[in-house]
Structure 1
Amino acid sequence: MPLLTAPAGSPAATRDPDGMAVASFVLGLLGLLVLNLFLGPIAIVLASVALLRGTTRRGRALLGLTLGIADLLVLAAFVQADSTISWSL
């Protein structure tokens, strides 16, 4: 019966958190431009899980976490400015 998860220390076990760190960075960056209501929280969750699993790309995960929080702050600023959930350039 095959294992569903990779053993600790294997290449696949370190690749998953690293991929999550990169994905959180990309989604956080993209969230500053579009869909920040959805992409911001996803970036925060991915970065948090990557950090908890011990990613080797810690800086990228922290950047993804910061960008995810910034997405929500940008959304909050625009909601305060024009009292709607959506915004456009």
Structure 2
Amino acid sequence: MTETALAPEADIAYEQLVQRNSELEEEKASLAEDVERAELREQNLAALARQLASALKKRSPESNLAARAIDYLGQQGLLGSPLRK
């Protein structure tokens, strides 16, 4: 095969790679959005758990469930910061 005979095949392969790259970039962007939504959901659920633990502690100070919930959030890195963002 000559160099000119390979050129159309190379062009086709290149175009296929460009198309696949574009598809992967779109999928990557979609997955990044999914991760962002999941992280926000996780933060919201952790905040709700902190609020529930606080309410339980006020209502039933003898219960250790509130302390266990807060300890769990801390172990999982979900306790958050006392400073607002």
Task: Tell me the TM-score normalised to structure 2 length.
Answer: 0.39
- The one of the two structures with greater contact order (alpha-carbon pairs below 8 A, sep at least 6) is 1
Task: Tell me the TM-score normalised to structure 1 length.
Answer: 0.37
